[in-house]
Amino acid sequence: MFKGSLVALVTPFKNGEVDYKKLKELVEFHITQGTNGIVPCGTTGESATLAIEEHERIIAEVVSMAGGRIPVLAGTGSNNTVEALRLTRHARKVGASGALIITPYYNKPTPEGLYRHYKLIAEEVDIPIVIYNVPSRTGISILPETVAKLSQIKNIVGIKEASGSIDQVTQILQICNITVLSGDDSLTLPMMAVGGKGVISVVANVVPADTAALTRYCLEGNYEAARKLHYKLFPLCKGMFIETNPIPVKTALKLLGKINGEMRLPLCEMTKENEHKLAGIIKSYGLM
């Protein structure tokens, strides 16, 4: 259901408030550039600092802005199962194509707790669900065996795998039939080479057409062309993480005149040294 390049969309702010005018511009930009799906309210969208009402409105607005032209995989995760359930119900109500649900952070649930968390939401809300595994953010990694068990629930259709491990992806695909999407831009090519179907991408905020082309080449089996794009994209992918995501990607979009780069505390502007380094990477790519 979900494949290719899905952008982990940034949330533009203006004077502390969500800038819905800029949000619409970004959605239109991705549609015209060939992005295969939009993911609002994920980690890159600073979901941790959004009020629930903002979270719900952003999802509704993005669905409306997309207008059925492109799938919207709404970030609806929380470390509170009841809150995640509320956000997922809302995403279903406003017409999102699916829900991306992060493994509960900080709580560090057991495999059984993770299973029950996802099972409850999947059974309560009839919407395609993509699990999101990002242990560097959450402090816990979902086991391949738990993924396989969850894949037996009909509307759990995929996993965004951001553990940084090709072994993890291989183990998941060996034991179950679930769509795997890379959660690490620099690993998109190797993950797709072992059977992944695409990426939920940070760097696609900056270079959507190239990111979409990389995934398209992989899906077509044209790995020679994909490899060339992988090497071209690699420095920019790494540049997106020289400070905590989404600080670099928002800074890059500011340098390119797309947004003002505003973030919410506790995130703040890049150091001047790193901004200079990032500007050099962007210039080398041919964007400035």
Token pair for 202: 């940070």
Active-site residue, from 3, 160, 197, 250: 160
Three-state secondary-structure class, residue 98: strand
Three-state secondary-structure class, residue 44: coil
Contact 3, 36 (CB under 8 A): yes
132 catalytic? Reply is yes
Query: Any idea how long the chain is?
Result: 288
Distance CA 198, CA 220 (A): 12
Output the CA torsion sign for 194, 195, 201, 207.
Answer: positive
Token pair for 84: 């995640």
Pairing of strands 17-18, 13-14: antiparallel
For residue 6, the model assigns a pLDDT of 98
Active-site residue, from 132, 149, 197, 250: 132
DSSP 245: T
**Each residue's pLDDT tens digit, 50-67:** 999 999 999 999 999 999
Q: Which CATH superfamily is domain 4-221 in?
A: Aldolase class I (3.20.20.70)
Which residues 6+ apart lie within 8 Å of 135 measured at CB?
141, 162, 163
* Order of all β-strands in the sheet with 198-201: 37-39, 4-8, 198-201, 179-182, 156-161, 129-133, 98-102, 73-75
Q: Is the pLDDT of residue 251 over 90?
A: yes
Q: Is the pLDDT of residue 136 over 90?
A: no
Q: Is the pLDDT of residue 1 over 90?
A: no
Residues above pLDDT 70, as percent of the chain: 100
Q: pTM of the predicted model, to two decimals?
A: 0.95
For residue 288, the model assigns a pLDDT of 78
Distance CA 143, CA 130 (A): 15
For residue 138, the model assigns a pLDDT of 87
